[in-house]
Amino acid sequence: MTSDVQLPFAKQILFPAICVVCQKQHPDGVAKLYIHKGEFALSEAASTLLTGSAYTTQNDLIVFDNIPACNTCAKLLHTQHRRLKIITYISWLLSVVFIFALPVTIGWKIAVFLFFFLLPVIIAVVMPPALDITFSKHSVTLHFALSDVAKAFALANQATVK
Ligand SMILES: [Zn+2]
């Protein structure tokens, strides 16, 4: 589970000088995250499954640089995000393979499809990255693995932790 802080989309985001991965004060580096506004959205998943190609239209790439993190922690954060992305794509691929290749009843196909479809979501909940960022229409939500980092972040941005 993560500690989440939601901010209005237009608000400037302030990061306190705490490593988002290990909580160290005044870390010696920064992390950079590239987040697609529509990433992991159902529409993207459905489009990927139907067309077999990655869904890219209306996908605004937002760069968060200057996220406080020790140099080694920044690498870890990037690895966590890459791992989640790889697991997601492999799961989608497997769900499609099973739908078309498995000689079983439609009920089983749906069950297997849902399992692989939900697997990345479950993994993201059980083993969340130190920091993940998601968007809705008018807000941006930062998901912190460490609740103390979330609290410091919420304080700096006059927001509350959910
Ligand atoms: Zn650190």
pLDDT of residue 157: 96
Where are any strands of DSSP class E within the chain?
Answer: 3-8, 30-36, 61-68, 131-135, 139-144
H or E element that contains 115? helix 106-126
Token representation of residue 89: 């794509």
pLDDT of residue 39: 47
Question: Ligand 1 mean position to 88 CA, how many Å?
Answer: 26
Question: Ligand 1 mean position to 140 CA, how many Å?
Answer: 23
Question: Ligand 1 mean position to 153 CA, how many Å?
Answer: 15
Question: Ligand 1 mean position to 89 CA, how many Å?
Answer: 28
Distance CA 20, CA 144 (A): 8
Give long-range contacts, CB 8 A cutoff, 24+ apart: 152-158.
152/16, 152/18, 153/5, 153/15, 153/16, 154/5, 155/16, 156/14, 156/15, 156/16, 157/5, 157/7, 157/11, 157/13, 157/14
Question: Ligand 1 mean position to 74 CA, how many Å?
Answer: 7
pLDDT digit string (tens) for the chain, length 162 residues: 899 999 998 788 999 999 999 999 999 999 999 887 764 455 455 555 555 554 444 557 788 989 999 999 999 999 999 998 898 888 888 888 877 887 888 888 888 888 888 888 888 888 899 999 988 878 899 999 999 999 999 999 999 999
Distance CA 146, CA 3 (A): 7
Question: Ligand 1 mean position to 48 CA, how many Å?
Answer: 35
pLDDT of residue 57: 42
Question: Ligand 1 mean position to 15 CA, how many Å?
Answer: 14
Question: Ligand 1 mean position to 84 CA, how many Å?
Answer: 20
Distance CA 137, CA 135 (A): 7
Token representation of residue 23: 């909580």
Question: Ligand 1 mean position to 70 CA, how many Å?
Answer: 4
Question: Ligand 1 mean position to 51 CA, how many Å?
Answer: 40
Distance CA 120, CA 89 (A): 9
Question: Ligand 1 mean position to 148 CA, how many Å?
Answer: 13
